[in-house]
Amino acid sequence: MIVEKLYIPILNFIYKHTSGLSQRTRSILMYSCLTIIIVSTYFYQAKRFFLYDYPAMLNSFIGTCAFIGFLIASIDRKIEMVKIRSWLMYVLMLCGIVIVISGIHHYIGYSYILMGLFMTFLMPPFIIVWCYRRDFDTLFRCIAIIGVLCFICYYFVNMICAPAGMDDTFWGRYGGIAADPNGVAKSAVASCVCGIYLLITWTGRKKIWMIPIISASIGMTLMTVSRANLIALGCILIWGMICGIKYCYHHRDRILLKRIILYAFFLVVLIPVFINGLPVSYTHLR
């Protein structure tokens, strides 16, 4: 309750000065700020490939400013003094405090200390705003759409600038423009989550576009041979199937249920086809 009493007056003060913004303007700001956040993470990954002197602190600062803009655009109403029971908020604050304390006593980059301060002071108001709004579908849809669009650009940049089989630096593991198989795999797995969410929740023919995107995400993760991310990918695919089936039964939509099962079958077929079509064969990834 102490955290809520500290942040809610500040959030209401921000809303008082931004209440004139229309919902369309807020939506544009949210999508724009989230795009900057995701692109800044890709820039951080690619700094060893393109920008050797690109300071990580500047990248973290840009991402933090964009997150503040996203938070301000999210405040669309006055927040009442209510108790929000969210264990995640306190866990993130604790992790941020540990990172800051560790940074004081050990030599680590300033960008990691900034990340600790970010988790300690900026994540709590973000959680308070969205727990009070209870409009999680808007938040998830925004993250999923921007995540998928940014990954499409990231994927083609990787295939053009750092194609598979370009070198054997990582013993057959694909490192991409990040020069880090684990970094590429994390981006691909995150995109897979976004694609599955849109595949389940979208309606109409536009959800068909998620099939090649999910396939590309899975293929890129397999190319990196990152064990932790492969395990995460397997869990995500199982989660996607369970959520899809529950979503269909909840809405009593048998046609959509059949489509999701059909899409899952196509995913199983497209993964090996996609891998075998790459410059590096699947046998070299073992």
Report yes or no: 37 and 63 within 8 Å, Cβ to Cβ.
yes
Written as six digits, the tokens of 109 are: 């980059």
pLDDT of residue 270: 54
Residue 216's CB is within 10 A of a number of other CB atoms, namely 21
Residue 27 and residue 22: Cα distance in Å, rounded?
9
Residue-wise pLDDT tens for the chain (286 aa)? 678 888 888 999 999 999 889 999 999 999 999 999 999 888 877 766 655 556 677 778 888 899 999 999 999 889 887 666 667 777 778 888 887 887 776 666 666 777 778 878 888 899 889 888 888 888 889 999 999 999 999 998 888 887 766 555 566 678 787 777 888 888 898 898 889 888 888 877 888 888 889 888 988 888 888 777 888 888 888 888 877 777 767 665 566 656 655 655 555 555 544 544 444 444 444 4
Q: What letter does residue 48 receive in the DSSP assignment?
A: T
Instruction: Indicate whether this model's pTM tops 0.75.
Output: yes
pLDDT of residue 26: 94
pLDDT of residue 278: 47
Report yes or no: 89 and 127 within 8 Å, Cβ to Cβ.
yes
Residue 225 and residue 208: Cα distance in Å, rounded?
27
pLDDT of residue 276: 45
Q: What letter does residue 106 receive in the DSSP assignment?
A: S
pLDDT of residue 266: 58
Residue 236's CB is within 10 A of a number of other CB atoms, namely 21
pLDDT of residue 166: 58
Q: Which residue type sits at 45?
A: Q
Domain boundaries, the chain: 2-134, 137-285
CA angle 234, 185, 29 (to 5 degrees): 105
